[in-house]
């Protein structure tokens, strides 16, 4: 009897592990940033702007939608008129970037798992305030200590920070509507 119960538990564990791997496998891989990448909102070459970049891959479209900033990438997910069939969202891991001017071509991280610094003194593409992404919370905190701002997760990025209404308040840590709340209203 023990052998049967142990075998059943092992089988259930393997099935659950297989399901997790299958879920991970369905998320498409990020594309390498090239000189052909044109920004969704600015219509300019993404490489012409400093700071972190973003890409969103939709379920039925095999090409990424490129963004000149991580902040624009997050904005896409908040805007009600944009497609909601998102298969993957990636942003530059600025902890692995060669420099602010060269955010890297292949150091992409899952945007929903990144740590963001908002309200810092550093400006992103087009000179706007940026949501600076990092794969490591420690790297995000170090960046915030050097450049001001505060660390937050993807779902907690305030909609008014990303969409441009009152962005300058965020260095002080003022709490307002979060990304997750804005998404449920849309």
pLDDT per position as a tens digit, 14-73: 555 554 444 455 899 999 999 999 999 988 999 988 999 999 999 999 899 999 999 999
As a whole number, mean pLDDT of residues 105-115 equals 97
Task: Spell out the residues 6+ positions from residue 171 whose beta carbon is closer than 8 angstroms to its own.
Answer: 119, 120, 121, 148, 149, 150
Would you say residue 113 has pLDDT above 50?
A: yes
Residue 10 pLDDT level (bands cut at 50, 70, 90): very low
- pLDDT given for residue 26 in this prediction: 84
Please determine, for residue 174, whether its predicted confidence score (pLDDT) is greater than 90: no
pLDDT for residue 170: 55
- Best CA proximity match to 57, nearest among 20, 81, 22, 27: 27
Rounded Cα–Cα distance for residues 116 and 132 (Å): 5
Give the CB-side neighbour count of residue 68, counting CA atoms within 13 A.
20
């Amino acid at each position: 009897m023990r052998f049967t119960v142990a075998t059943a538990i092992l089988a259930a564990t393997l099935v659950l592990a297989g399901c997790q791997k299958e879920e991970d496998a369905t998320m498409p891989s990020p594309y390498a940033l090239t000189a052909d990448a044109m920004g969704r909102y600015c219509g300019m070459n993404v490489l012409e702007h400093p700071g972190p970049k973003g890409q969103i891959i939709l379920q039925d479209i095999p090409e990424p939608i490129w963004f000149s900033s991580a902040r624009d990438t997050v904005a896409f997910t908040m805007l009600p008129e944009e497609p909601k069939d998102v298969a993957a969202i990636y942003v530059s891991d600025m902890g692995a970037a060669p420099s602010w001017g060269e955010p890297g071509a292949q150091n992409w991280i899952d945007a929903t798992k990144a740590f963001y610094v908002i309200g810092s003194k550093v400006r992103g593409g087009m000179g706007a305030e940026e949501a600076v992404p990092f794969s490591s919370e420690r790297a995000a905190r170090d960046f915030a200590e050097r450049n001001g701002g505060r660390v937050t997760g993807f779902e907690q990025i305030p909609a008014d920070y990303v969409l441009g209404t009152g962005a300058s308040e965020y260095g002080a840590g003022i709490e307002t509507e979060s990304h997750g709340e804005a998404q449920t209203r849309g």
